[in-house]
């Protein structure tokens, strides 16, 4: 069941490292999983974080083909996901980034379809125009051409930046990267963020204390650490 609009906005108020730290408290997955690697970079780092539900595509662009999916099917797939939506695109070319699906036209179309961001291990272009409509782009590269780009598959799991994303997954992203928020703990993320920030604030305050001592620092570091769940993975 989709989370509330109020919780979406609250999650958008956190940066990705805070979301990552919060998820760790629930021990629902290993700490080295659940997020995209550094090959997927934020193209507009000044834009605010996004939160949304994944719709998935796979593309090819290096050579012509007759395997394009009808756009009406793509739009139906997008609209079947709760809003706000995030388009996550796996580039099947080897090497990738021959042609870009993302530019001014698709940016405006997908914005109209309720999309909060685009994430791809392929390329993007028309940066000024897409930035102008406020659509966050996360991509491997910025490239010039659309080449022979077309969507060849949709609505199936994709792997982007070593993270496998399925339709309906809840994603958060900002200038640090993109992370998957497990549905079953999404409601408790604010509680976890508050707990971690309270613990870390004690350490930071000790470090900034004009009368700083290592003893004060260690007392803050040795305070009870937040813990919200037993290990479940």
**149 class by beta-carbon count within 10 Å (0-12 exposed, 13-18 middle, 19+ buried):** buried
Look at residue 232 and tell me whether its pLDDT is greater than 70. no
The pLDDT tens digits of the residues spanning 50-99 come to: 999 999 999 999 999 999 999 999 999 999 999 999 999 999 999 999 99
Average pLDDT over the chain reads 95
Specify the higher pLDDT residue, 233 or 70.
70
| pLDDT at position 229 | 61
Q: How far apart are CA 125 and CA 140, in angstroms?
A: 12
Q: How far apart are CA 69 and CA 200, in angstroms?
A: 49
| pLDDT at position 101 | 96
| pLDDT at position 231 | 53
| pLDDT at position 197 | 92
Write out the two tokens for 218: 């260690």
CB 135 within 8 A of CB 115: yes
58-96 burial by CB neighbour count: b if 16+ within 10 A, else e? bbbbbeeeeeebeeeebeebbeebeebbbbbbbbbbeeb
Q: Could you tell me which of 207, 79, 91 has the C-alpha nearest to residue 141? A: 91
Q: How far apart are CA 142 and CA 133, in angstroms?
A: 18
| pLDDT at position 113 | 97
The pLDDT tens digits of the residues spanning 171-227 come to: 999 999 999 999 999 999 999 999 999 999 999 999 999 999 999 999 999 998 887
CB 17 within 8 A of CB 176: yes
Domain ranges within the chain, ordered by starting residue: 30-181
Look at residue 230 and tell me whether its pLDDT is greater than 80. no
Fold of 30-181: Glucose Oxidase; domain 1 (3.50.30)
């Amino acid at each position: 069941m989709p989370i509330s609009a109020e919780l979406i906005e609250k999650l958008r108020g956190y940066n990705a490292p805070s979301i990552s730290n919060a998820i760790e408290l629930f021990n629902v997955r290993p700490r080295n999983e659940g997020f995209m690697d550094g090959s997927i970079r934020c193209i507009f780092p000044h834009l605010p974080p996004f939160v949304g539900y994944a719709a998935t595509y796979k593309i090819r662009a290096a050579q012509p083909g007759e395997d394009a999916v009808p756009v009406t099917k793509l739009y139906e797939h997008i609209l079947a996901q709760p809003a706000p939506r995030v388009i996550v695109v796996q580039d099947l070319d080897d090497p990738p980034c021959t042609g870009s699906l993302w530019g001014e036209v698709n940016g405006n179309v997908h914005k109209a379809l309720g999309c909060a961001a685009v994430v791809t291990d392929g390329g993007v272009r028309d940066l000024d125009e897409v930035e102008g409509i406020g659509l966050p782009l996360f991509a491997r590269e910025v490239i010039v051409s659309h080449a022979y780009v077309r969507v060849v598959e949709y609505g199936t799991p994709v792997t982007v930046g070593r993270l496998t994303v399925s339709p309906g997954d809840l994603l958060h992203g900002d200038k640090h990267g993109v992370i998957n928020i497990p549905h079953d703990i999404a409601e408790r993320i604010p509680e976890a963020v508050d707990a971690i920030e309270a613990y870390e604030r004690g350490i930071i305050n000790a470090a900034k204390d004009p009368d700083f001592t290592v003893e004060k620092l260690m007392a803050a570091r040795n305070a009870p650490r937040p813990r919200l769940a037993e290990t479940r993975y």
